[in-house]
Each structure stands twice: as C-alpha cells, then as structure tokens.
C-alpha cells in the first residue's frame, strides 16, 4: 500500500457525484431445496449507486436482500449477472486467486449485523486494524498511523484501542467493524442490518457516525435493512425486494412517501406510529400478498 490513503487523500471524491461507482446488473441466485426443487433468492436484481451516494435495499425476512449483499462483496457467486465497481468487473465467476480477492476487497467491503462473530477474539482493536492494513501492503509505521486515524474516525479511544472484542460494548464492536471495513479505503461499503442488533440510542449514534463517514471519505453506502426509518434517514435511493425480485425502486423520499407498489405500502403500514392499527396493517399486508390495493 503506497501513497496517500483515501481517508486523507485530497484527490478523493468527497463530493456527491451522479456518476455510478457501483453497478449491479441482472443478479440472480437460486439454492437447492431439500427433497428437490430450487429456491429463487434473487432474480434479475439491477441497480446503481452513485459515487458518494447511498442506496437502501429493503424487504421482509426471506426477500433476498442479504443474498444480494453477499453477491456484491463476493461471498456468494451469482448464477447470472455482474457487479462492477468503478468500472472494474468484481463478479467472482471463477476462482482468480489471492490478488483478485484483495483487489475486490479494496473496492468493496461489508459490515455484518453481528460484529462479534466477524472479529478475531484474540486481537485488540488496534491489532485488528493493523492486521487488515498489513494484509493490503501497509508497512508497520503506516499501519500504526492509519490504525490510530481509523480509531479516531469511528470514535474509539485509547481504552477501546487496547481492548479485545469481549471487552467492548455492542456499539463499540460495530464501530470497530466499520473501521476495519474502511481500513483499505473502499469505494463502497455494504452494511447488512448493521444496526439491527443495537438498542435505539446506539443505533442513532452509529447512523450519525455513518453519515459523517460518508461525508468525510466519499465512500458510497449500500444499506440492507428491514427498518424503513433507518433507510429513510441514511439513503438517497431505495430498492424494495419481495420473493427475490424488485417490486419498486427510486428516490427514497418518493418510494417511502408515495409508494407505487402494494407491497411497499404494506411494509409502511406495518411500521407502528401514532394511531397505528394492527388490524389495518394486517389487512394491508394481506391485500399486498393477494396482489391488489385495499
């Protein structure tokens, strides 16, 4: 790793740009079912994310949104479709070796719902970041300096820097996971239900942190969530999935304020609010499942 790190490179595009940095085209994935048959987890999913932009992928459990997220970062190989980051094909169709995996990792990183299972319990926070940086070529002095910068960026101090995952709170572990994902200066950060396991006050802190990181570094975000309030707060564009397919997509405010699809209206109706009626929400969901608007 040589030259200026993207977090501190004056040439890094901090401003929001309409040019797409991520293009997902026709992503499809099916899985075999016990006893025969196949489950269609994703079917022809296409969307773009602008440079420095933020896109939400929403839907109920089983809609296929996590499968799409994992295809984006190369953890799941699509049956069809392509993923392009900054003009470079990043679809893992065939094994291409360590260099290709590292190149993809430098372009696009993922933050999982439960950081505890993705962090090495033997390493302190600083060692975790140091290891990621060294893997991508940083010399020890560079790694030390950048680990300090990353810890500061995500709001972790000296105590947290020397703590192992079991010594951190859930919110602190998620901050560390975000710092590790940012360590190599990715162009795109994919967050799969990254605040779902946190209480409401910690959720707000992490969302505020992500918004600040997006402004400061210019990283684009793909935010996978079932929580429409979170998506409304953090994203510019939203894609709504159901049964592996896109049912609606467009600017977040438009999709959530004036949804065109019955299924999107059902998702919105299911969110508790002042005067919320569970019976009405259930009826709306049933009508969406039947394919018509009540």
The full set of domains in the chain, from first to last, is 6-258 (3.40.50.300), 262-294 (no CATH)
- Mean of the pLDDT values across residues 125-152? 87
Confidence of residue 187 (pLDDT cuts 50, 70, 90): very high
- For the chain, the helix, strand and coil percentages under 3-state DSSP, each to the nearest 5: 40, 25, 35
Q: In what order do the strands lie in the sheet with 108-111?
A: 108-111, 188-192, 220-225, 54-58, 237-242, 245-251
- On the question of pLDDT at 111 being above 80, the answer is yes
Confidence of residue 17 (pLDDT cuts 50, 70, 90): low
Q: DSSP state, 275?
A: T
**Based on the number of CB atoms within 10 Å of its own CB, is 232 exposed (0-12), middle (13-18) or buried (19 or more)?**
middle
Model pTM?
0.83
């Amino acid at each position: 790793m040589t030259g200026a790190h993207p977090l501190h490179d004056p040439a890094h595009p901090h401003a929001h740009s309409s040019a797409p940095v991520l293009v997902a085209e026709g992503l499809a994935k099916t899985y075999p079912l016990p006893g025969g048959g196949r489950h269609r987890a994703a079917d022809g999913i296409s969307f773009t994310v602008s440079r420095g932009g933020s896109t939400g992928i929403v839907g109920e459990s089983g809609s296929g949104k996590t499968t799409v997220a994992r295809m984006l970062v190369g953890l799941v190989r699509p049956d069809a479709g392509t993923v392009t980051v900054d003009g470079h094909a990043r679809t893992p169709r065939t094994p291409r070796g360590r260099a290709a995996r590292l190149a993809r990792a430098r372009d696009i990183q993922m933050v999982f719902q439960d950081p505890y299972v993705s962090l090495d319990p033997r390493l302190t926070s600083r060692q975790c970041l140091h290891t990621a940086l060294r893997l991508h070529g940083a010399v020890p002095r560079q790694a030390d300096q950048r680990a300090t910068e990353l810890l500061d960026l995500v709001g972790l101090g000296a105590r947290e820097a020397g703590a192992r995952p079991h010594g951190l709170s859930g919110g602190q572990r998620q901050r560390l996971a975000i710092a590790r994902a940012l360590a190599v200066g990715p162009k795109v950060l994919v967050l799969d239900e990254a605040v779902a396991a946190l209480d409401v006050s910690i959720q707000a802190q992490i969302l505020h942190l992500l918004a600040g990181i997006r402004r400061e570094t210019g990283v684009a975000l793909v935010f996978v969530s079932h929580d429409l309030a979170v998506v409304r707060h953090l994203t510019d564009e939203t894609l709504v999935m159901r049964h592996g397919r896109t049912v609606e997509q467009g600017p977040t405010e438009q999709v959530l304020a004036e949804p065109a699809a019955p299924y999107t209206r059902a998702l919105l109706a299911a969110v508790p609010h002042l005067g919320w009626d569970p019976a009405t929400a259930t009826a709306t969901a049933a009508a969406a499942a039947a394919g018509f608007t009540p």
